[in-house]
Amino acid sequence: MRANPFLMFQGEASQALDLWSKAFPELEVLELTKHPEGPQQGQIAMASFRLGGSEWRLFDSPPVHDFTFTPSTSIFIDCDDEAQLRRLTEVLSEGGGVMMPIDNYGFSTLFTWIADRFGVSWQLNLP
C-alpha cells in the first residue's frame, strides 16, 4: 500500500506546478497528462511529482466546486538553511499571503507559514 497527497485545482494546476518547480529546482515531475480537447483543453488531467522524498498528485477538477484549499492542511518543509527558507518564502508567497511572518517562535530557529497565490499553505521551518 502507498498513500499520496492529492491536490485538486480548478484550472490552475499547471501554473502551480510551474511556481513550485521554480521554488524547488529539485522537484521532479513524474507524470503529466493534459486534457487534449474540450472546455478543459490544456489543463492538467493528472500529474504526479516528487519533492523531498514524497510523491504528490494533482489535477484540475472538471466540475467547479464551492471549496478550495484551507490552511488547516499544509505542506511542511524543513529547510536546509536560512537562505533557503527566505528564498522559498519570497517565491511562494508572491501573490499569496503570510499567516505567520518569518520569526523564531520558540519551536524552531526560524519559521513562517504562508499561502501561495493558489491558496496552498506552506509551513517553512529551519530546525
pLDDT digits (tens, 9 = 90+) for 87-115: 999 999 999 999 999 999 999 999 999 99
| Mean pLDDT computed over 36-52 | 94
Examine the pLDDT at 62 and tell me if it is beyond 90. no
The mean-pLDDT minimum among 51-60, 61-70, 76-85, 96-105 falls in 61-70
| Mean pLDDT computed over 51-55 | 95
| Mean pLDDT computed over 6-16 | 96
The percentage of residues in the chain with a pLDDT greater than 90, rounded to a whole number, is 92
Q: How far apart are CA 91 and CA 72, in angstroms?
A: 21
Examine the pLDDT at 63 and tell me if it is beyond 90. no
Domains along the chain with CATH numbers: 6-60 (3.30.720.100), 74-126 (3.30.720.110)
Q: How far apart are CA 46 and CA 35, in angstroms?
A: 9
CB 25 within 8 A of CB 45: no
SS (H, E, C) 10-64: CCCHHHHHHHHHHHCCCCEEEEEEECCCCCCCCCEEEEEEEECCEEEEEEECCCC
pTM of the model: 0.92
CB 93 within 8 A of CB 116: yes
Q: Report CA dihedral (47, 117, 93, 124) to the nearest 10 degrees.
A: -50
